[in-house]
Amino acid sequence: MSTTNGVNGASPSSRFDPGFTQHVLDTMGENVAPRTRLVLGALVRHIHDFAREVELTNDEWMAGVHFVNSIGQTSTKTRNEAHRISDVLGLESLVDEIAHKLVVDGDVEPTSSSILGPFWSPHAPFRDNGASIIQNPNPDGRVTKMHGTITDLLTGKPIPGAVFDIWQASANGKYDFQDPDNQSPNNLRGKFRADENGRYWFYCYHPTAYSLPTDGPAYQLLRLMDRHPMRPAHIHIMVTHPEYRGCTTQLYPSDDQWLSTDTVFAVKDDLVVDFKPLQGDDKATLELEYNVILPPKDYKGKL
Amino acid sequence: MSTTNGVNGASPSSRFDPGFTQHVLDTMGENVAPRTRLVLGALVRHIHDFAREVELTNDEWMAGVHFVNSIGQTSTKTRNEAHRISDVLGLESLVDEIAHKLVVDGDVEPTSSSILGPFWSPHAPFRDNGASIIQNPNPDGRVTKMHGTITDLLTGKPIPGAVFDIWQASANGKYDFQDPDNQSPNNLRGKFRADENGRYWFYCYHPTAYSLPTDGPAYQLLRLMDRHPMRPAHIHIMVTHPEYRGCTTQLYPSDDQWLSTDTVFAVKDDLVVDFKPLQGDDKATLELEYNVILPPKDYKGKL
């Protein structure tokens, strides 16, 4: 058998030492927490299985070593490249699904979760229903009246007092953090408290698609995979109430061209929405209705 | 079913979107090289399978993100932490096995390879057989006369002119690169050319066990796994000849206490050697005989 590497990954791995991976795992000591043993053990197994499956070459391994070093070397206090790398590999979306997947008893599904992303702020101000989150108007912004009802998964009844937290990029594709010359802190951020009928309403922008940074390892990886760096336009929301399981998610205009190839894989069917023309409101030209369904805090779903 | 994470990794993954991983893979474009598609595709599959298998939590994922960033932030021009992380996970040794594994026809096995490590130098000088590689004596060094024969795997005949390149740490556990105050360049390094009988001989030190650095992410990972940071004592060798498949490997004293738990998993049975007392040589108190067996360059082994 040749010692050069196969190109189809189908070569039998039986020619390699069958005890090697177990030997590595067995060096873990007795003082390892059970969960740590489980997670790191599985990580080692999958890394080894990956290397044997593709017969990873020395050059490929060394390219990977250099790539991993470059991730941390690109990161700063305000740029988290490892986070971004895991996003473009689909890992953050998968972890989000693992954490929030609920198999329900009935026909009604709770609102799907999606990834938090790096731009949420704990400092967004409460605003009154009917107010606008637009502090710094952008000439390309299309003002939208967004409204909806927050209801209980099991009873269908409204959830008065639920907090609807929204944040979004401006029409230039940048969040306040990233654009201090044009945006004041908390521009396009706000929290709204649902009224006695579980209703919220306010003014925001139709969202704008944007590109991930194209000057670092995440973009190098995207280029290697012949993928684009675009996120579809989206609005981030986080809906919470002390008696309910909160929902952090994102909403996407149905006509966005990047929906099916979102570079971080955060789109789900029930999160795709229609913006409609709005007449008779001098503050907005578009309307978006989005209703949120939350399960009670102790709801376990179908076992 | 609970959305909290299982502790045994045995929960069915069927409740997660069965199409997610394929969707991520399908975003790779048509201009991806076949080998790149194979390697990155397998990498994504194994990362996803790992996350689903252990039901990776958001906190664990974020801890991993911070850990990956810290690797590059610890690396410098003279310190490669990603290389070291892959070593303590067994990956460099596995890649070395994949590259060099040869299944032979007959009873004689070629000398096993082992990892190169970060301390080989292309600038080691040629020295004459019988010379010493000890430029800067260390009071704790135990001088050893090392010698042996380099032979052909198939014919058993000697390989005159084969180059035997040796490098080792001094008795303080440091290589010349790491210890400029005590060691001049090329201390404990040298290349020797086998004579007409395939023989080489020179003076070196009995090797000394040493610890990996304990101030970075690799050591953090070892602590998480309740593992020590020790490498068993070893001598590095690289044996080459234009007509043979070269061998890069390491030799270990049989009485070393770290053999079975080498922190980088680079020990193999045929690389464990006995140092013997030497009498009648005023330059050395120990002797090590090590014979090297090389396959011809075009030898493919058993298919």
The strand pairing partners of B236, in sequence order, are: B167, B250
Tell whether B77 is covered by a domain. Answer: no
> In terms of domains, do B135 and B275 share one?
yes
Residue B213 lies in a domain: yes
pLDDT tier, A13 (very low <50, low <70, confident <90, very high otherwise): low
A33 and A146 inside one domain = no
Q: Are residues B209 and B92 in the same domain?
A: yes
Asked if B285 and B103 count as a contact pair (C-beta separation under 8 A), the reply is: no
- Give the pLDDT confidence score for residue A59 in this predicted structure: 96
Is the distance from CB of B7 to CB of A35 less than 8 angstroms? yes
CB contact under 8 A, B303 and A1: yes
State which residues form the domain around A172.
Answer: 84-292
CA-CA distances (angstroms) from residue B293 to B27, B204, B240, B273? 48, 21, 11, 15
Does residue A10 belong to any structural domain of this protein? no
Residue A3 has pLDDT above 90, yes or no: no
pLDDT at A14: 67
Nearest to A96 by CA among B77, B131, B20: B20
Q: Which of A8-22, A214-228, B250-264 has the lowest mean pLDDT?
A: A8-22
- Across chain A, mean pLDDT equals 93
In a shared domain, residues B94 and B42: no
> Is B75 part of any domain?
no
Count of pairs with CB atoms under 8 A, one residue in A, one in B: 243
Quick check: is A247 in a domain?
A: yes
Site from B39, B85, B248, B264 to mutate, A interface, most A CB atoms within 10 angstroms: B39
* Contact residues on chain B for A109, CB-CB shorter than 8 A: none
The predicted structure's pLDDT at residue A212: 92
Asked if B5 and B57 touch (Cβ cutoff 8 Å), the reply is yes
CATH code where residue A211 lies: 2.60.130.10
A177 shares its domain with A105? yes
Range A50-58 average pLDDT? 97
At B235 the three-state DSSP class reads: strand
Q: Is B43 near chain A, with CB under 8 Å?
A: yes
Of A27, A68, A303, the CB nearest to B82: A68
Distances (CA, A) of B270 to A1, B196, B203: 22, 25, 22
**One-letter identity of residue A137:** P
Confirm whether B302 is domain-assigned: no
Strands B247-253 and B272-273 come out as: parallel
Q: Which amino acid, one-letter code, is at B52?
A: R
Indicate whether B32 and B156 sit together in one domain: no
Residue B192, both tokens: 């020797």
Interface check A102 vs B, CB under 8 A: yes
Task: Read off the DSSP letter of residue A285.
Answer: S
Query: Does residue A265 belong to the interface with chain B, where contact is any CB pair within 8 Å?
Result: yes
Q: Is B254 in the A-facing interface, judged by CB distances under 8 Å?
A: no
Q: Give the pLDDT confidence score for residue A40 in this predicted structure.
A: 98
Asked if B164 and B120 sit in the same domain, the reply is yes
Kindly provide the ipTM of the predicted complex, given to two decimals: 0.87
User: Would you call A205 an interface residue with chain B, using a CB distance cutoff of 8 Å?
Assistant: no
- pLDDT confidence of residue A11: 45
Residue B93 lies in a domain: yes
- Asked, for residue A63, whether it belongs to a domain, the answer is no
Same structural domain for residues B19 and B140? no
Are B50 and B98 found together in one domain? no
- Among B5, B7, B28, select the one facing A225 at the smallest CB separation: B28
Q: How many residues does chain B have?
A: 303
Same domain, A21 and A148: no
User: Is A118 an interface residue toward B (CB < 8 Å)?
Assistant: no
Task: Give how many domains chain B has, as a whole number.
Answer: 2
Residue A10 has pLDDT above 60, yes or no: no
Shared domain for B166 and B125, answered yes or no, is yes
Taking the CB of residue A162, how many other CB atoms lie within 10 A of it?
Answer: 27
Q: What is the pLDDT along chain B (303 residues), one digit of tens a residue?
A: 333 333 333 344 567 889 999 999 999 999 999 999 999 999 999 999 999 999 999 999 999 999 999 999 999 987 899 999 999 999 999 999 999 887 787 888 999 999 998 889 999 999 999 999 999 999 999 999 999 999 999 999 999 999 999 999 999 999 998 899 999 999 999 999 999 999 999 999 999 999 999 999 999 999 999 999 999 999 999 999 999 999 999 999 999 999 999 999 999 999 999 999 999 999 999 999 999 999 999 998 775
Q: In this structure, are A106 and A254 located in the same domain?
A: yes
Question: Distances in Å between the alpha carbon of B10 and those of A34, A40, A68, A153, B213?
Answer: 14, 15, 30, 29, 36
* CA-derived radius of gyration, chain A: 23
